[in-house]
Amino acid sequence: MFGDSHFQSQYHNDQPYLKISKGEVQPHTLICLHGMFGGLSNYDAIIPYIDDCQIFVPALPIHNGEEQRPSIRGISQWLDCFISDLQIQQPILLGNSLGGHLALDYVIHHPKKVSALVLTGSSGIQEKNFGSSCPRRNDREYIRKQAAQTFYDDRVDDELLDEIMEIITNPAQLKNVLAMARDTHEHSVEDKLETITQQVLLIWGRNDEITPPDAARQFEQKLPNAELRWIEKCGHAPMMEHPKTFALLLNEFLIELQNKDKQKITDYEKNYSHL
């Protein structure tokens, strides 16, 4: 999950991020936000299939020890600095798991700065609680089984498990992970979802065990302008498990947004052409 990206990293205040341009014309800017046990490489598989878009993938300051007791609000404020410093205008926020939760918090506090949302396996309403402590953090097989629940097919190899073990056996990093886990469960955005007026695409794994299908249905019901798309035989990380299908759904959404923008311009010209 944390593996190095195939794309070249850039740096903002010593924090790595990706910046990738797709196509000669980029009508949309997409910021991809990873989950708590995620990293820059999480979106590598879908990037080749995304059409005409400028893409940013920041590494969120969770595991590097610099963010003391990280929280949704704290990282949301960090994201605002990232967007402002890089002069990113009206991005679409795409978030997986905690990244979706972060996207929701950000748009709630900065409604005029975001053009649309894409949520996949997002927390914020409900998710499986693995606890606020790690009493068996040195039990490699136990951790492997917990991590395997992320995917429909078990994709947890030794390299990935080594990365997770490195995090949870490091006392400083473990404190950050536990603080983030507690805040994720305590920081519900459910009562504010109705205030989000942006178009929202929900892409959900039909077999997600961490944020189960019922969470997706609740998001669809409570968000005023949401559409839900399922991916079969898929767990908590659809962009990694089924990148082509995920990118197809995303591209359709981007086209839909672009067509709506064109229609708004046409309607405006018709209404004010006499002035």
Model confidence at 248: pLDDT above 80? yes
Of residues 263 and 251, more confidence is placed in 251
| Average pLDDT over every residue of 193-197 | 97
Which pLDDT value is given to residue 145?
A: 81
**Percent of residues, the chain, with pLDDT higher than 70:** 87
* Of 178-187, 220-229, 232-241, the least confident: 178-187
CA–CA dist 216, 125 (Å, integer) = 9
CA–CA dist 239, 154 (Å, integer) = 15
Amino acid occupying residue 145: K
Which pLDDT value is given to residue 69?
A: 76
pLDDT grade for 163, boundaries at 50, 70 and 90: confident
10-132+176-272 fold: Rossmann fold (3.40.50)
* In the chain, domain spans: 10-132+176-272
pLDDT per residue as tens digits for the range 25-53: 888 999 999 998 889 999 999 999 999 99
Which pLDDT value is given to residue 167?
A: 76
Model confidence at 19: pLDDT above 80? yes
